[in-house]
Amino acid sequence: MQRLLNASGCLDALVAPEVARQLDGFVTKTITPLPREGNAPPRIAETAHGMLNAIGLANPGRGRFLAEHLPRLRELGLPLWISVGGFCAGDFAETCAELADVEAVELNLSCPNVDEAADSAAEIVAACRSATPLPLYAKLSAAHADVAEVARAVADAGADGLSLINTLRGLTLDPHTHLPVLARGSGGLSGPSLKPVALHAVHACYAATHLPIVGMGGVASAQDVVDMVACGARDVALGTALFADPEAPRRIRGELSGVDFEGVFARAHVATSPRVVAV
C-alpha cells in the first residue's frame, strides 16, 4: 500500500516516538532559518467540525535543527521528510542546500499563520531545485481561485511532488465576548471540515500535473484514505486525527488491509483523464 505519513506540525517524533513508529515516514515541523517561538497563546480553538491553530511556525531554527534535532530523529530509523519554510526563495534554498540523506523535502509554501513569502511558489521551487537533488514536494494551499494552476507552475519549476492541502485561514469567536478566541485572530482550519476541499484540490492537481501527491485534510478513517487515493493521492497524511487518537495510524492501517490501492488509484487516473463528450 502507499505510505501513511503525518502532516507537518502535527507530531513531535522526539516526544512521541511510539506514535511516529506507526507511520511510514515522519514529516518534521517546518524549519525556518532563524528560531521562532511562535505566536502568543491561545493558539488553538475547536470549531464545529474541526479546529483552528495559529502556532506560527514555532521551531528551533535551521542551525539547531541540523545540529541537535536531526541526528536524534535519524536514530528513530524512520524515513524523514523535512518541512522547510522561510520568507523568501533564498531562505528555502539555503536550508535545502544543507540537507542530505533524507527521504524528501516538503516546501511549506502555504502557512496561513505567518506573513506570506514575498516570492511566488514557482520562484521558491526553482531556487530549491538548483540547491538540492532531493525529492521536492510543494505544499500548497487550496485558498487559490485555481490551485491546479499553482500546481502546474511548481511542476514546471521542478517540483517532484505535491502535498495537498495546508490549512485554510479561518476565525472563531468567543460567544460571550464576541472577540476572536485565538490571540492572533485568525488561524488555520483543519479536521473533518477540510476534507471536501482537500479532495477537490487533490483531484484537480492530479489531473493537471500527474505528479505524486501526499493527500491530507480531514483524514481520520480508512474510507478517508481510500477517498484521497481515488482522487489521485499516492500517499496520505494524518493531521488533526493524530491529536484525537495517537493510535490512529495503526487503527487505519488495520482497517485498510485488503484494499486494492492500485485498483483505486487506477480509477483516479480514469476519472481525471479528459472525457470524450458525445455530440
Interface ranges with other proteins (CB under 8 A): 9-12, 15-16, 19, 29, 37-38, 40-47, 49-51, 53, 55, 58, 191-192, 240, 242-247
- CA-CA distance, 90 to 69, in Å (whole number)? 22
- CA-CA distance, 148 to 94, in Å (whole number)? 27
- CA-CA distance, 198 to 165, in Å (whole number)? 6
> Which CB sits closer to other proteins, 131 or 242?
242
Query: Has 231 been annotated as catalytic?
Result: no
| CA distances to 19, 98, 158 from 14, in Å | 10, 21, 32
- The alpha-helical segments, DSSP class H, found in the chain are 17-20, 62-64, 70-74, 89-97, 121-131, 147-156, 195-209, 222-230, 240-244, 248-256, 261-272
Residue 105 Cβ, how far from other proteins at the closest point, in Å? 21
> Which CB sits closer to other proteins, 190 or 209?
190
- CA-CA distance, 276 to 279, in Å (whole number)? 9
Residue 270 Cβ, how far from other proteins at the closest point, in Å? 34
Residue 19 Cβ, how far from other proteins at the closest point, in Å? 7
> Which CB sits closer to other proteins, 15 or 100?
15
- CA-CA distance, 155 to 143, in Å (whole number)? 18
Residue 22 Cβ, how far from other proteins at the closest point, in Å? 12
> Which CB sits closer to other proteins, 7 or 89?
7
| CA distances to 98, 126, 264, 272 from 209, in Å | 28, 17, 19, 10
Residue 198 contacts residue 58 (beta carbons within 8 Å): no
List 10, 88, 96, 111, catalytic entry: 111
Residue 183 Cβ, how far from other proteins at the closest point, in Å? 10
> Which CB sits closer to other proteins, 19 or 164?
19
Residues with active-site annotation: 111
